[in-house]
């Protein structure tokens, strides 16, 4: 009996080894999608709708991923986050300069509600199980818990000013604090703040992602580092990445974390599928300014908002955006 089972066992073991050894994807620039001029911040792919949403200075840019057709919806004041609400046509957008959150109907392009929150609402995410969105109010140091369908604030968590991107793991909130160089924590159900996690060696953490398979957080730091936090031990390790990152994009189907680094114009590709420590396996040339982005997990395409820049308008200022140059850079995995 053993001899008849052995060949099948070896075949299955070999197949498993092949799957485990499958190489991580490499990326190349596939195309560029022109979009209206203006600033940008976070982006999000809604796989149900087949749309890419990008928060802009005064509106939301919408890209149909089948046709690359571009449109604009909403009126906001320095948009930061765009959060599709699963199972609806609603889109939550944080409007930083007027301390509000807008609820837009993507089917009609109209605004359904304007909700007052804390000072400088920035990053946000949606929990499909609780049906609540959480908005990080950067300057206020608070988190607004919102029912997007009822268009109301149902709770507030008080942390510290300097809040950036956040994620939720098992009912615990984790939020980067770029002023304190740490990750704030809180129990969402009780609203009680917990102990912060110091990010030693990380300056100005902004983007944050959660590697569910290994139970670890990855923070993008302004000083050219990514801080990897083991949530079981709270130990922090550092990886070298590019300068100017503002997002951590987790692509679980392909087993990578992607960090766009806008100052260097590169994309750091981190292997999170292999056993052991996370490692940077590639540095892909992109364009200066490409600091945030989103991934379509269906095909692995990565969308990076950016523009072309000329000399600074004033001495010591930021480079001036060249009119008519704003676009979405599209990277495809090989």
| Structure confidence by residue, pLDDT tens digits, 221-267 | 999 999 999 999 999 999 999 999 999 999 999 999 999 999 999 99
Q: In the sheet that 100-105 helps form, which strands lie side by side, from edge to edge?
A: 79-84, 90-95, 100-105, 110-116
Query: DSSP strand E in 178-288: where?
Result: 182-187, 192-193, 197-198, 208-211, 216-221, 225-230, 236-240, 249-251, 256-261, 266-271, 279-285
* Residue 18: predicted pLDDT: 38
Residue 241, number of CB atoms within 10 A of its CB: 25
How would you label 114-146 residue by residue, b for 16+ Cβ within 10 Å and e otherwise? ebebbebbbbbbbeeeeebbbbbbbebbbbbbb
Distances (CA, A) of 4 to 7, 9, 96, 173: 7, 9, 67, 52
d(CA 252, CA 119): 33
CA atoms within 13 A on the CB side of 51: 22
pLDDT digits (tens, 9 = 90+) for 317-330: 888 899 999 999 99
What's the CATH number for 41-278? 2.130.10.10
d(CA 202, CA 198): 9
d(CA 82, CA 137): 15
* Residue 312: predicted pLDDT: 83
* Residue 22: predicted pLDDT: 56
d(CA 112, CA 92): 10
Instruction: List the one residue out of 84, 89, 111 whose CA is nearest residue 100.
Output: 111
* Average pLDDT score, the chain: 93
Q: Are strands 236-240 and 249-251 parallel, antiparallel or unpaired?
A: unpaired
Cβ atoms of 304 and 259 closer than 8 Å: no
What does the pLDDT average to over 170-174? 97
Instruction: List the one residue out of 166, 232, 168, 229 whose CA is nearest residue 199.
Output: 229
pLDDT digits (tens, 9 = 90+) for 88-146: 999 999 999 999 999 999 999 999 999 999 999 999 999 999 999 999 999 999 999 99
Residues 6+ apart with CB under 8 A from 113: 102, 103, 151
What is the percentage of the chain residues whose pLDDT exceeds 70? 93
DSSP reduced 3-state for 156: strand
Q: Phi-psi region for residue 298, left (φ > 0), alpha (ψ -120 to 50) or beta?
A: alpha
Residues 6+ apart with CB under 8 A from 245: 206, 207, 220, 221, 222, 226, 259, 260, 261, 262, 268, 291
* Residue 6: predicted pLDDT: 36
* Residue 334: predicted pLDDT: 84
State the DSSP H helix or E strand holding residue 14, giving kind and residue range, or none if neither: helix 2-20
* Residue 14: predicted pLDDT: 38
d(CA 160, CA 39): 27
Residue boundaries of the structural domains of the chain: 41-278
CA dihedral 158, 161, 162, 165 (to 10 degrees): 20
Q: What is the pTM of this model?
A: 0.92
pLDDT digits (tens, 9 = 90+) for 266-298: 999 999 999 999 999 999 999 999 999 999 999
d(CA 45, CA 84): 8
DSSP reduced 3-state for 47: coil
């Amino acid at each position: 009996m053993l001899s008849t089972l052995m060949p099948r066992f070896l075949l299955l073991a070999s197949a498993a080894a092949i799957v485990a050894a499958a190489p991580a994807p490499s990326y190349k620039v596939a195309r560029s999608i022109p979009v209206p001029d203006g600033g940008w911040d976070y982006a999000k792919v809604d796989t149900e709708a087949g749309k890419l949403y990008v928060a802009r200075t005064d509106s939301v840019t919408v890209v149909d991923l089948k046709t690359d057709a571009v449109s604009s919806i909403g009126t906001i004041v320095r948009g930061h986050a765009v959060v599709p609400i699963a199972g609806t046509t609603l889109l939550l957008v944080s409007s930083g300069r007027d301390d509000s959150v807008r609820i837009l109907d993507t089917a009609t392009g109209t605004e359904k509600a304007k909700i007052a929150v804390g000072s400088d609402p920035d990053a946000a995410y949606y929990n499909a199980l609780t049906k609540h969105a959480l908005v990080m109010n950067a300057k206020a140091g608070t988190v607004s818990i919102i029912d997007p369908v009822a268009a109301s604030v149902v709770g507030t968590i008080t942390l510290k000013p300097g809040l950036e991107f956040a994620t939720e793991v098992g009912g615990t909130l984790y939020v980067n604090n770029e002023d304190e160089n740490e990750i704030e924590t809180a129990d969402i159900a009780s609203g009680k703040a917990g102990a912060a996690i110091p990010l030693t060696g990380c300056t100005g953490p902004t983007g944050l992602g959660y590697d569910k398979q290994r139970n670890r957080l990855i923070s993008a730091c302004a000083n050219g580092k990514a801080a990897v936090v083991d949530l079981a031990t709270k130990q922090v390790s550092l990886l070298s990445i590019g300068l100017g990152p503002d997002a951590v994009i987790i692509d679980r189907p392909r087993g990578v974390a992607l960090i766009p680094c806008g100052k260097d114009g590169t994309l750091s590709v981190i292997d999170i599928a292999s056993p052991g420590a996370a490692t940077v396996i590639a540095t892909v040339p992109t364009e200066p300014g490409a600091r945030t982005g989103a991934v379509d997990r269906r095909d692995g395409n990565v969308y990076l908002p950016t523009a072309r820049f000329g000399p600074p308008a004033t001495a010591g200022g930021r480079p001036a955006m060249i009119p008519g140059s704003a676009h979405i850079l599209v990277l495809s995995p090989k």
